Amino acid sequence: MEDRLLTKYEVMSFLNISRRHFELLVKEKELPMIQITPYKRYVRSSHLNRYIDERTFNKPQENTQESQPENDFQWNNIWGK
């Protein structure tokens, strides 16, 4: 996966936030930002994804093991055999 630089405006659009809110995220919430000049500012896509993941709650748990039927159930126990 390519780790590209997102412009400030791409981040604002992606998060659906205002420029003021973006500035607050950078200043107070520690959103990692790369500043080339006062007007050229970027966020790495991997940093944005990590920032979002760190603030996500009720994450779905990953199921790495396939469920298999339990072998404990035996029909002969039901019929008394």
pLDDT tens readout for residues 5-64: 999 999 999 999 999 999 999 988 788 999 889 889 899 999 999 988 888 887 777 766
- With a cut of 70, say whether residue 65 has pLDDT above it: no
**pTM score:** 0.64
Helix (H, G, I), strand (E, B) or coil at 50: helix
- On whether the CB atoms of residues 41 and 35 are closer than 8 A, the answer is yes
Going from N- to C-terminal start, the domains of the chain cover 5-54
- On whether the CB atoms of residues 34 and 43 are closer than 8 A, the answer is yes
